[in-house]
């Protein structure tokens, strides 16, 4: 990523770009009321247009999938670009020269009209061509070791050309000399990570190695990965990658993504492999959604990149991400870590491990293209892989081992985002362990509850900095997880909050007061309810606009956008034609639905407590009686609630 663009230049780009024109490149718009235009959303599949643009405000919002923002966020999302790239792209269209915070900018260096980022990209383009020409020059022996390496792994010249593979000569100055002849400055070569600076001047960073160009999503080369070929290579590392530069951040790049992007977007499947040769092998075998990280573990930024491309949206059928890992312990550890990360997206993760632990490149050599495709097609859910890997640590022949395994595996089931899948997985795993389903289910609920208590406090800042999304300039920092509307309970919560925001007069004080934030599952919903409860009841009896303003003021910063969305989104119910209001019965059902779900969770917890107490020989009978009574009271409360709703 390039140095920071000056804030006033970003503002100028936004002001001078017409959001309507930019959106019209992707979406057909039609007028929809005063000052707004509508079209089919480019970010989710829909048949009825809910994607709205307000040119005068310079913003867009989709009422279907919730995407929204300004012209820069639109370009970022639709073109799969970073923030900086989006600004640069729009600036180029406007003919506007950008200035960067470190004082560099377009127009420097002898009148060249290219900006700093563009100069570095150009240097990489020239370097890639240089390396490739040397590899492919069969008349010369310089790169023979590189060609041999590729041939041994099943790659011919056409394959090398397709992926832009090249060879960095061992003499140590060939590229530096070439770039200098092409007019690049020493600073550009060093800053771009192509040359190093030593006591005797510049030297090539990659020497005597096979090099793969690492490209960004638009296909521009931003760095290189280089493999050791010679025993006398002074650098022992098998792979050497470009260090962090203004255009290369290893946590933000995926090797092969430029080639895989189209397949990932249309198939909605990404395949994460471990190395450059694995990416090549997979693509050549027909698995065209294959990518690899470059010298780093698969991380949060990589997830963000893939999500944007595969349209990992709640409304869509889940996208698939398949990880291939070595069958060894390190690979399994990586899989377990990825499973933790997995909870950040709606996509379903799978793991593909070849029976004999071969990577895709070896597999293609040994068994051909079809075997690589079969490996990916036969991937098992990440959950299953994680659960089996965990269970394997315990001795299931003893009762203690089974209980320990159950405790270890319960959090994995409890962390599956799609709650409707949990009972099925609970049954499956209890079968593997040979224990009662009910016992397993209680353990899963317990694990799930610990997680909820841990994460659902909206006032709590995320523990890890990883969890804080990168704020766009001028945007508030912390945000809460987007409520998963596929969960019917969460969807009911949302409708209730919408009604509370839009039709405050329809609710009496007692009802509003009786709603407790912890009765809501989604942290963002709890935070909105906080705003509603804090806003003075007097506002609720005033105008709706004043009420919305009061709730917005009272709500935590992170959910103010959500309050705005809730205030305009339409309620999925038939309105009373005589009053123009949502029917009272519908509103009561929403309040009841949220309470019922909360009671359900409380009852499940209470049952687990009672069952544990029953199985514990040390339990005080009076204590057990009390717990049983508490459970009974909750059950009666739920029966009464349901009777009230159906009467
Ligand atoms: Zn949408």
What CATH number is associated with residue 82? 3.90.580.10
What CATH number is associated with residue 508? 1.10.860.10
Each residue of 418-440: pLDDT tens digit? 677 778 888 888 888 888 888 89
The answer to whether residue 369 sits within a structural domain is no
Rounded to the nearest whole angstrom, what is the distance from the C-alpha of residue 46 to the centroid of ligand 1?
8
Rounded to the nearest whole angstrom, what is the distance from the C-alpha of residue 363 to the centroid of ligand 1?
40
Rounded to the nearest whole angstrom, what is the distance from the C-alpha of residue 481 to the centroid of ligand 1?
18
Residues 6+ apart with CB under 8 A from 235: 228
Rounded to the nearest whole angstrom, what is the distance from the C-alpha of residue 39 to the centroid of ligand 1?
10
Rounded to the nearest whole angstrom, what is the distance from the C-alpha of residue 40 to the centroid of ligand 1?
8
Rounded to the nearest whole angstrom, what is the distance from the C-alpha of residue 50 to the centroid of ligand 1?
7
pTM: 0.57
Do 87 and 175 lie in one domain? The reply is no
Strand partners, 60: 53, 69
Strand partners, 443: none
Supply the pLDDT for residue 312.
64
Do 541 and 620 lie in one domain? The reply is yes
Rounded to the nearest whole angstrom, what is the distance from the C-alpha of residue 206 to the centroid of ligand 1?
45
Of residues 22, 633, 521, the one with CA closest to residue 37: 22
69: left (phi over 0), alpha (psi -120 to 50) or beta: left
Cα separation, 290 vs 352, whole angstroms? 13
Rounded to the nearest whole angstrom, what is the distance from the C-alpha of residue 586 to the centroid of ligand 1?
26
Residue 232 belongs to domain spanning: 116-248
Do 537 and 402 lie in one domain? The reply is no
Rounded to the nearest whole angstrom, what is the distance from the C-alpha of residue 63 to the centroid of ligand 1?
7
Each residue of 175-192: pLDDT tens digit? 999 999 999 999 999 999
The answer to whether residue 187 sits within a structural domain is yes
Q: How confident is the model at residue 151 (pLDDT cuts 50, 70, 90)?
A: very high
Supply the pLDDT for residue 235.
85
- Last residue in a domain, options 248, 268, 295: 248
Rounded to the nearest whole angstrom, what is the distance from the C-alpha of residue 285 to the centroid of ligand 1?
34
Rounded to the nearest whole angstrom, what is the distance from the C-alpha of residue 66 to the centroid of ligand 1?
6
Rounded to the nearest whole angstrom, what is the distance from the C-alpha of residue 495 to the centroid of ligand 1?
18
Rounded to the nearest whole angstrom, what is the distance from the C-alpha of residue 254 to the centroid of ligand 1?
26
Rounded to the nearest whole angstrom, what is the distance from the C-alpha of residue 494 to the centroid of ligand 1?
17
Q: How confident is the model at residue 558 (pLDDT cuts 50, 70, 90)?
A: confident
The answer to whether residue 155 sits within a structural domain is yes
Do 524 and 449 lie in one domain? The reply is no
The answer to whether residue 349 sits within a structural domain is no
Rounded to the nearest whole angstrom, what is the distance from the C-alpha of residue 74 to the centroid of ligand 1?
12
Rounded to the nearest whole angstrom, what is the distance from the C-alpha of residue 313 to the centroid of ligand 1?
9
Rounded to the nearest whole angstrom, what is the distance from the C-alpha of residue 52 to the centroid of ligand 1?
9
Contact between 10 and 473 under an 8 Å Cβ cutoff? The reply is: yes
pLDDT at 304 over 60: yes
Rounded to the nearest whole angstrom, what is the distance from the C-alpha of residue 45 to the centroid of ligand 1?
7
pLDDT at 313 over 90: no
Average pLDDT over residues 513-533: 84
- Last residue in a domain, options 200, 220, 248: 248
Which residues neighbour ligand 1 (ion) by CB within 5 Å? 41, 43-44, 62, 64-65
Do 154 and 202 lie in one domain? The reply is yes
Q: Which helix (H) or strand (E) holds 282?
A: helix 276-284
Rounded to the nearest whole angstrom, what is the distance from the C-alpha of residue 383 to the centroid of ligand 1?
29
Rounded to the nearest whole angstrom, what is the distance from the C-alpha of residue 257 to the centroid of ligand 1?
24
Rounded to the nearest whole angstrom, what is the distance from the C-alpha of residue 420 to the centroid of ligand 1?
24
Measured CA to CA in angstroms, residue 297 lies from 193, 216, 252, 484, 523 at distances of 21, 18, 11, 27, 29
- Last residue in a domain, options 191, 222, 248: 248
Most confident of 38-52, 89-103, 144-158, 582-596: 144-158
Residues 6+ apart with CB under 8 A from 128: 164, 166, 213, 221, 224
What total number of domains does the chain contain?
A: 4
Mean pLDDT taken over the chain: 82
Rounded to the nearest whole angstrom, what is the distance from the C-alpha of residue 82 to the centroid of ligand 1?
20
Note the Cα 558 to chain centre separation in Å: 19
Do 495 and 635 lie in one domain? The reply is yes
Supply the pLDDT for residue 83.
86
The answer to whether residue 281 sits within a structural domain is no
Contact between 413 and 444 under an 8 Å Cβ cutoff? The reply is: yes
Rounded to the nearest whole angstrom, what is the distance from the C-alpha of residue 314 to the centroid of ligand 1?
11
pLDDT at 490 over 80: yes
Do 495 and 557 lie in one domain? The reply is yes
Cα separation, 352 vs 291, whole angstroms? 14
Rounded to the nearest whole angstrom, what is the distance from the C-alpha of residue 315 to the centroid of ligand 1?
9
Do 503 and 625 lie in one domain? The reply is yes
Do 443 and 398 lie in one domain? The reply is yes
The answer to whether residue 267 sits within a structural domain is no
Do 127 and 162 lie in one domain? The reply is yes
Note the Cα 591 to chain centre separation in Å: 33
Do 55 and 141 lie in one domain? The reply is no
Rounded to the nearest whole angstrom, what is the distance from the C-alpha of residue 67 to the centroid of ligand 1?
6
pLDDT at 455 over 60: no
Rounded to the nearest whole angstrom, what is the distance from the C-alpha of residue 316 to the centroid of ligand 1?
11
The answer to whether residue 376 sits within a structural domain is no
Do 501 and 610 lie in one domain? The reply is yes
Rounded to the nearest whole angstrom, what is the distance from the C-alpha of residue 17 to the centroid of ligand 1?
22
Q: Which two tokens stand for residue 118?
A: 């563009």
Rounded to the nearest whole angstrom, what is the distance from the C-alpha of residue 77 to the centroid of ligand 1?
11
The answer to whether residue 377 sits within a structural domain is no
Q: Which two tokens stand for residue 143?
A: 């790169």
């Amino acid at each position: 990523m390039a140095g920071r663009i000056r804030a006033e230049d970003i503002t100028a780009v936004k002001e001078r770009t017409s959001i309507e024109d930019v959106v019209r490149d992707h979406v057909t718009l039609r007028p929809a009321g005063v000052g707004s235009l509508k079209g089919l959303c480019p970010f989710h599949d829909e048949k009825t247009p809910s994607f709205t643009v307000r040119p005068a405000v310079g913003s867009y919002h989709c009422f279907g999938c919730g995407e929204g923002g300004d012209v820069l966020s639109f370009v970022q999302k639709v073109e799969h670009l970073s923030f900086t790239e989006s600004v640069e792209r729009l600036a180029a269209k406007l003919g506007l020269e950008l200035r960067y915070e470190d004082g560099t900018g377009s127009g420097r260096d002898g009148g060249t009209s290219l900006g700093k980022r563009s100069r570095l990209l150009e240097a990489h383009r020239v370097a890639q061509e240089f390396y490739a020409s040397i590899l492919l020059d069969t008349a010369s022996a310089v790169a023979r070791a590189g060609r041999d390496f590729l041939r041994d792994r099943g790659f011919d010249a056409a394959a090398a050309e397709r992926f832009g593979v090249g060879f960095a000569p061992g003499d140590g100055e060939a590229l530096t000399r070439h770039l200098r002849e092409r007019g690049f400055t020493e600073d550009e070569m060093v800053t771009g990570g192509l040359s190093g600076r030593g006591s005797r001047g510049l030297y090539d960073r990659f020497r005597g190695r096979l090099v793969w160009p690492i490209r960004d999503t638009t296909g521009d080369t931003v760095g290189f990965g280089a493999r050791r070929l010679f025993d006398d290579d002074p650098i022992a590392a098998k792979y050497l990658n470009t260090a962090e530069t203004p255009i290369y951040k290893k946590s933000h790049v995926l090797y092969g993504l430029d080639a895989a992007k189209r397949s990932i977007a249309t198939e909605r499947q990404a395949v994460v492999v471990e190395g450059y040769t694995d990416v090549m092998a997979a693509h050549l075998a027909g698995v065209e959604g294959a990518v690899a990280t470059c010298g780093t573990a698969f991380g949060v930024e990589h997830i963000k990149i893939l999500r944007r491309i595969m349209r990992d949206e709640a409304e869509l059928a889940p996208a698939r991400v398949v990880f291939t890992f070595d069958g060894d312990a390190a690979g399994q550890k990586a899989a377990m870590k990825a499973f933790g990360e997995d909870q950040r997206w709606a996509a379903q993760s799978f793991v593909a491990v070849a029976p004999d632990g071969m990577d895709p490149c070896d597999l293609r050599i040994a068994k051909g293209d079809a075997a690589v495709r079969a490996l990916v097609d036969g991937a098992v859910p990440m959950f299953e892989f994680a659960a089996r890997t965990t269970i394997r640590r315990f001795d299931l022949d003893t009762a203690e081992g089974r209980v320990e395994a159950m405790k270890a595996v319960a959090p994995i089931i409890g962390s599956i985002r799609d709650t409707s899948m949990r009972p099925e997985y609970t049954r499956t795993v209890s079968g593997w362990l040979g224990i009662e389903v009910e016992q397993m289910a209680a353990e899963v609920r317990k694990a799930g509850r610990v997680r909820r208590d841990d994460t659902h406090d909206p006032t709590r800042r995320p523990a890890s900095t990883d969890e804080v999304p990168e704020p766009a300039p001028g945007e508030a920092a912390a945000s809460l997880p987007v409520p998963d509307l596929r969960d019917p309970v969460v969807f009911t919560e949302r409708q209730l909050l919408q009604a509370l925001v839009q039709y405050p007069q329809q609710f009496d004080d007692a009802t509003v007061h009786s709603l407790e934030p912890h009765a809501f599952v989604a942290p963002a919903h709890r935070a909105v309810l906080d705003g509603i409860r804090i806003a003075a009841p007097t506002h609720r009896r005033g105008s709706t606009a004043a009420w919305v303003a009061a709730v917005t003021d009272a709500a935590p910063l992170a959910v103010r956008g959500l309050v705005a969305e809730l205030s305009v989104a339409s309620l999925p119910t038939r309105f009373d034609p005589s009053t123009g209001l949502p029917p009272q019965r519908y509103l009561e059902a929403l309040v009841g639905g949220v309470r019922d779900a909360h009671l359900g969770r409380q009852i499940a917890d209470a049952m687990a407590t009672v069952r544990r107490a029953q199985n514990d020989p040390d339990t005080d009978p009076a204590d057990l009686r009390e717990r049983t009574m508490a459970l009974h009271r909750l059950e009666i409360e739920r029966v009464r609630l349901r009777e009230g709703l159906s009467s």
